[in-house]
Structure formats: structure tokens, C-alpha cells
Amino acid sequence: MSTSLERTARDLASAMAGLDLKGRIRAIESAIPGRLVFTTSLGIEDQALTHALAMAKGRTEIVTLDTGRLFPETYDVWAETESAYGIRIQAYAPERVSEESFVREEGINGFRHSVAARQACCGFRKVEPLSRALAGAAGWLTGLRAGQSANRSDTPLAEADDARGLIKINPLADWTRADVDRFVIDNYIPYNVLHDRGFPSIGCAPCTRAVKIGESERAGRWWWEQESKKECGLHVHQPEANVQPGQEAAAFESTPRNSNLEIAR
């Protein structure tokens, strides 16, 4: 028996399917009357969505999770984005007591001790702040794409998040990385320069490396762990069994190092 959330998500996904990104934003804000929150990691997909939301001048709030361990380049593009669009991206940070406790018990880079320790680190740096960011929200927008990894291959345009009591919306779910890059280039959107240095996916600095030729986009995230474990806990419905890496090549594999992205800056 489907819930009201499931029906709303199904109807919204159907409505979004034939629309461009601008139309999808309008459809989302029309279908969900309550509070809408977009959580940006300031990665390239999220920059595309930030641009669309800023241009739409709608009511969706743009927030980010400042883990305290981000790359300097991420903070740079954060400031550049606010300046370019005349907006403020609201930050949610870890609770200080939780951070101090973890570092005291595990060490500054204790997340490498075990999967459990890494998940605990993601828990207080990302998951708990996310719960505060989404408090009272009716809809949650993300930059997830099905092509990012095998763990995300079944990402829908919209789905019911019963645990949080909201609709989770992924407006770029059916976009390829090439689609994202083209949109960013065509619209002169600010983006993280690390994308030009072999980082298709960017998280916390100690937990992200450049990917190698043939690896999936998210292979550089928590690279010391098994593929099936490599999610921070923000996004649910992940398979428990081991999976194969995603098959979509990172954009720079088929793009010269002096890429259009770099030129567009």
C-alpha cells in the first residue's frame, strides 16, 4: 500500500521526466507547498543546481554542510558562488562536543581506523548537521545522479524518504557527467578547480583523492574501503552487498587536460 509521500513522489517524478532543469525546478516548487531545502556540497552537479535555483529566484533554501575538513578550493568556490549570484549559502557545522570527543578518542585522522570509525566521523560531521538542516522540510533537493556510482545507479527523480518524512528530489538523476559539464560551461557557472585536477567527486580533504583512469567517479572517496561501504550516510537505500564500481567514466577521461571546463573559467 503506497503512502501519501510515495504517491506525491511518483507523480512528481512523472511530471519532471520530460522537462529541462528550469522546468523541473518550477514543477518541484509547485508540487510541494512546504519548506524546500537544497543541500549543496559545492561539487559540479550541485553548482549546476545552485545556478538553476538562483536564476529561478524561488523559495528553495540553499544550505551546505561545513564539515570543518573541506578543501581550501571548496571554500573558495563557496565564496565565489555567493558573490556571483548575490546569495548566502547557509552553513550547518558539526556539534563541537561531538567533534572534540571523536578527536580525543580516535585521533585527528581516526576515521581511517575502521569503517565504523569513518562512519562515526561522517555521522557527526554530516548526518547530524543534515538532520538539523532538514528539520521541518517537506522536500529535499540533492545533486545525485545515477551515473555517479553503482551504489547510486537506481537514483530516481523523486522518492519518498519515509524516515525523514519528506520527498527527496534528485533533479539531475538522469543527467550524465557530460550533461553537467556542458551546462556549467554554457552558463559560465563557478566550479571547484579540483575538478580540473582529476577530482570528479569532492568531499572532505583527508578522505578524497584524484581518481585513476578507468575508475568510477566516486572511487576517490574513502578509497581504502570496499565499494559497498563508500557512502557517508546522508543518502539511504544503499545495498549492503558488495557491488561493482559505476561504469560511467569520469568526465576528464575523455576530455583533454586543458578542458573546456578549465577554459570556461
**Is 123 annotated to bind ligand?**
no
- What does the chain come to in residues? 265
In this structure, what is the dihedral angle of CA atoms 133, 136, 141, 146, given to the nearest 10 degrees?
90
**Is 108 annotated to bind ligand?**
no
CB 99 within 8 A of CB 68: yes
CA–CA distances in Å: residue 25 to residues 74, 156, 242, 243, 260: 25, 15, 35, 32, 27
**Is 204 annotated to bind ligand?**
yes
40 classed as catalytic = no
**Is 261 annotated to bind ligand?**
no
How far is Cα 103 from Cα 224, in angstroms, rounded to an integer? Answer: 20
How far is Cα 259 from Cα 252, in angstroms, rounded to an integer? Answer: 8
Say which of 167, 232, 250, 251 is annotated catalytic.
232
In this structure, what is the dihedral angle of CA atoms 251, 255, 260, 265, given to the nearest 10 degrees?
60
How far is Cα 61 from Cα 29, in angstroms, rounded to an integer? Answer: 11
Annotated binding site: 121-122, 204, 207
Which residues are annotated as catalytic? 232
Annotated binding site for [4Fe-4S] cluster: 121-122, 204, 207
